[in-house]
Amino acid sequence: MKISEPFQPDPKMKTLYFTYLALIIVPLFVLGLCATSYMLLINEVTVATIFAIFYFLPLIVITIFVSYWIPKYCRSIKYLLTENEVRVERGVWWKTRHAVPFSRIMSIDTIQGPLSRHFGIGTLDIYTAGYTGRAGGGSGPSVRRAEASIMFVPNFLELREEILNIVKGRSLFGTSGTLSEVLGQQILEELKEIRKLLSSRLS
C-alpha cells in the first residue's frame, strides 16, 4: 500500500459474508421444510400453514435485508495510511471513523478464519497502549478490543509488516527516541529507584 492512497477490503469480503449468510439461513430453511412436511404428513394442514407463515416469512425478510446490507457495508469501508496515522471508516447508516497515530500503536494482530483463509484474505487488529475493553460486549473485561481493524485485505501480512516498520521509526507518544529507547530509559529509571530503596534500607 502507498502512503495517502485510500484502499478498500478485497471484493471477496462480500462473497465471504454471503457464505456466512447461507450457512445460517439454508439449515433454517431445511429445518422449516422438514417440520412443515411432517405436519402435512399427519394431516395438520392448518397448523402447517400457520407455522409456515410465521416461520418462513421472517427468514425471507431477514435474508432480503442482509443481502441488501452486505454490498452497501462492504462499499462503505475505506482505509488510509497517512504520514502520521492509520484511518478507518465504515458504516452504512451510522458512520464510524477511527484515526490511530503511528506513535500510539503497540501491537498488530492478524486474524484469518477457515473461510477467510479459503478466500485468501485476512484482518489486522491494531492495538494501542491503554485501549482495552469488552470485545463485542460479551467476552469479559479482560479481553482487549482493537482500536481499529483493517478487515479482509489480501496482503494483510505484508501490510502488517509495513505498518510495523513505520511504527519502529516513530517516537512513543510523541516523546523523543524510538520505542526501544524509551522503554530502556524507563527500565533504567526503575533500576535507579530500586537501588535507592536498597541503599536506604542497608544504611
**Does residue 115 sit in the same domain as residue 198?**
no
Tens-of-pLDDT digits for all 203 residues of the chain? 667 788 999 999 999 999 999 999 999 999 999 999 999 998 888 999 999 999 999 999 999 999 999 999 999 999 999 988 999 999 999 999 989 998 888 889 999 999 999 999 999 999 987 655 444 434 444 455 688 899 999 999 999 999 988 888 666 555 545 555 656 666 777 788 888 787 777 76
Same domain, 155 and 85: yes
CA distances from 55 to 25, 31, 33, 40 (A): 12, 10, 10, 15
90 and 149 share one domain:
yes
In 77-106, which ranges are continuous DSSP H helix?
Answer: none
List beta partners, residue 50.
Answer: none
Residues 54, 136: one domain? no
- Same domain, yes or no, for 142 and 95? yes
Residue linked to cell 509488516: 161
> Looking at the domain assignment, is residue 154 inside a domain?
yes
Q: Is 106 exposed, middle or buried (CB count within 10 Å of its CB: 0-12, 13-18, 19+)?
A: middle
| Same domain? 16 vs 40 | yes
Phi, psi values for residue 24, rounded to 5°:
-90, -45
Domain for residue 88, yes or no? yes
Residues 190 and 137 in one domain: no
Q: What is the C-alpha radius of gyration for the chain, rounded to an integer number of angstroms? A: 26
Q: What is the pLDDT of residue 185?
A: 65
Q: What pLDDT, on the 0 to 100 scale, is given for residue 121?
A: 95
83 and 93 assigned to the same domain: yes
CATH number at residue 142: 2.30.29
Q: Which of 36, 52, 75 is the last residue of a domain?
A: 75
Residue ranges of alpha helices (H) inside 91-170 are: 114-119, 156-168
- CB under 8 Å to 175, separation ≥6 — which residues? 182
Whether residues 93 and 156 share a domain: the answer is yes
Tell me whether residue 91 is in a domain: yes
Yes or no: say if 171 and 178 are a contact pair by the CB < 8 Å rule.
yes
Q: What is the pLDDT of residue 29?
A: 95
Task: Determine, yes or no, domain membership for 4.
Answer: no
184 is in which domain, residue-wise?
Answer: 176-203
Helix (H, G, I), strand (E, B) or coil at 106: strand
Domains held by the chain: number: 3
Report the distance separating Cα 148 and Cα 125, nearest Å: 6
Q: Residue 146's pLDDT is what? A: 83
Same domain for 169 and 93, yes or no, is yes
